[in-house]
Structure 1
Amino acid sequence: MGLKTRRANVKHGKYSRALILPAAIEKGKESTLAANRLMLVDPRGEISPEDLLEFLEKYVEPQFWAWIKTKEEQGDRSG
């Protein structure tokens, strides 16, 4: 279903960093992304950055932080 990987942030220019996309995923000519603490990327560039940001802020970020807090609390109880 999905792909998980760890990637280095490669220096690109004076201030930017580049993230190399895995070969196994389908890519377009450009990617769109939305980011804060987490990053949501459409490697095909088919979803607008505005829609990605709205989805990230409304659904992904709040759910992730609630999930990670619960996971950490469960880890504290078992250890």
Structure 2
Amino acid sequence: MKTLICMALGLLIGVTLIASSDAQTTLTSSVSSVSKTRADVKAELATWRAAGLQPAGLNNNYPDDVLQAAAIVEQRRARPPADSQ
């Protein structure tokens, strides 16, 4: 019985590692090769929060709130800045 549990646990860990490795490869290939500074990341987080995204745990609307905030951020990025005219 103990051997069976160890084998199941090993299989679970192996599958998890493979899945996370695949997810990271997909994420890395979709992100630009330019590394971001801490200021860039903080500015992007401020943009998402201004679009209505709240940190996890403060509401129970995940992932709907993330999708709504993403739509707002994309709309704002597609729109040219007001002072560029």
TM-score between the two structures when normalised by the length of structure 2: 0.30
Higher helix fraction (1 or 2): 2
Higher strand fraction (1 or 2): 1
Higher relative CO (Cα under 8 Å, sequence separation at least 6) belongs to 2
Query: Which protein is bigger by CA-based radius of gyration?
Result: 2
TM-score between the two structures when normalised by the length of structure 1: 0.32
